[in-house]
Chains A and B, each alone.
Chain A
Amino acid sequence: MTAPAAAKTALKEKFPQVTDRPSADHDAVNVPVGEVVAALRFLRDEHAFDLLMDLTAIDWAEGASPRFTVVYHLFSSLNLGYIRVATDCASNDEPTAPSVVDLWPAANWHERECYDLLGVKFTAHPDLRRILMWEGYPYHPLRKDFPLAGIEVPLPDEEISAATGTAVIAAPMMGGPFVASPGEINLTEAEPRAKDESWSDRDARPDQTALKQLKS
């Protein structure tokens, strides 16, 4: 038995509520949010998972329950193995999870990013500020209900906002986002840009009714 698999078995014996998590690559477990710090401490101290490789969260969808899942990727530099620990946040509207900065200082900025982009609050975090967006930005951009183009808000700096008369705008998508459709072999034709060149930021997109009137 590999070291991560042994650790998983031991974890399930110590914490009966821990369940297997389907995974295509490494060993993975689901842990209840109340036990996650104890479980992670057990993995770190008893099974030498000394590195927190990544800490992130998933927004499953609006209306899904549980909506937010926090995921920890651990690596053991002694046994050279990975294990993935996932925990569902209790609340769907104001998700919270316990901070693991005490276990791995590396978690500090990861949790700040997670809070910034997905709005998961980490309780007992020493300095839970936004890390990428500016202070006072009202949204969490990686949530599923946030549009890629963005939502119009004032610029971070009021003075500059007044002097320039500009704001944070919803970005013009111009037929994007530019992702190729699946299954298309010809990449030139798969480009969304190639599909629709009838409109741009200068020429407004003709809406369907106007187009129909034009044809009839």
Chain B
Amino acid sequence: MVSAHTTELGYNSKIEGEVIVSRADAVINWIRTNSVWPMPMGLACCAIELMAVGNGRFDISRFGAEVMRFSPRQADCMIVAGTVTYKMAAQVRRIYDQMMSPKWVIAMGACASSGGMYRSYATLQGVDRILPVDVYISGCPPRPEAILDALIKLQGKIKTERSASNLFKET
């Protein structure tokens, strides 16, 4: 029997008076998830693919991460795109240190993840030796879709964080 009083599944401001009740973690994580501003640490050819992911064809802005910030102080997620030499390692770490918490790191491509094909005296064998990496992307260089996949993975990780209690934690 069809009833006139069907159940409202969505949010109805007329009934609830423009008040939403939720958990602080859920709200904070929801905000952070959809505004991950990347710090493009472009060091080699991976940076070209990183540029492609901002273009209309792949459109990283669908995930709220199109605001590439070249100042580490305004960025949330460092994308290490390319070969990190030992000479550059200190600068990469310094830029990471200048980023505001909360901050995340994506190691993009074979070189950033493990040194890649550069098994040599001059190349850092994986950026995880100096930075806490959240997501690794395989590929040399990775396709832009792989970067989007990594971003979605990172968003999944951000959603599980205990952000509210972390606000008062000493870092």
Contacts and interface: CB of A to CB of B under 8 A. Distances in A.
Interface in B110-162: 115, 117-123, 125, 129-130
A171 B121 contact: yes
State the majority secondary structure of interface residues on A: loop
A134 B93 contact: no
Nearest to A142: B121
A146 interface: yes
A174 interface: yes
Interface string B11-40: 000000000000000000000000000000
Interface in A79-96: none
Given A134-B87, A160-B93, A150 B120 contact: yes
B5 interface: no
B120 A163 contact: no
A155 interface: yes
Contacts of B115: 171
A173 interface: yes
A148 B121 CA distance: 6
Contacts of A172: 119, 125
A82 B121 CA distance: 34
A149 interface: yes
Contacts of A13: none
21 contacts: A132-B87, A132-B122, A133-B122, A141-B121, A146-B121, A148-B119, A149-B119, A150-B121, A155-B90, A156-B86, A156-B87, A156-B89, A157-B90, A157-B93, A160-B130, A163-B93, A164-B130, A169-B125, A170-B121, A171-B118, A174-B119
Contacts of B93: 157, 160, 163-164
Given A157-B90, A168-B86, A176 B119 contact: yes
A61 interface: no
Interface string B89-108: 11001100000000000000
B121 A164 contact: no
Contacts, number: 61
Contacts of A139: 121
A151 interface: yes
Contact of B119 (A159, A163, A171): A171
A149 B120 contact: yes
Contacts of A171: 115, 118-121, 123, 125
Nearest to B93: A160
B122 A150 contact: yes
A173 B125 contact: no
B87 A173 contact: no
Interface of A: 132-134, 139, 141, 146-151, 155-157, 159-160, 163-164, 166, 168-174, 176-178
Contact of A155 (B86, B117, B119, B122): B86
A120 to B, nearest CB: 19
Given A149-B120, A166-B130, 7 more contacts: A133-B122, A156-B87, A156-B90, A157-B89, A159-B90, A164-B130, A177-B119
A147 B118 CA distance: 14
A104 B63 CA distance: 54
Given A160-B130, A166-B130, A133 B87 contact: yes
B132 to A, nearest CB: 10
A157 to B, nearest CB: 3
A160 B93 CA distance: 7
B121 A134 contact: no
Contacts of B125: 169, 171-172
B119 A173 contact: yes
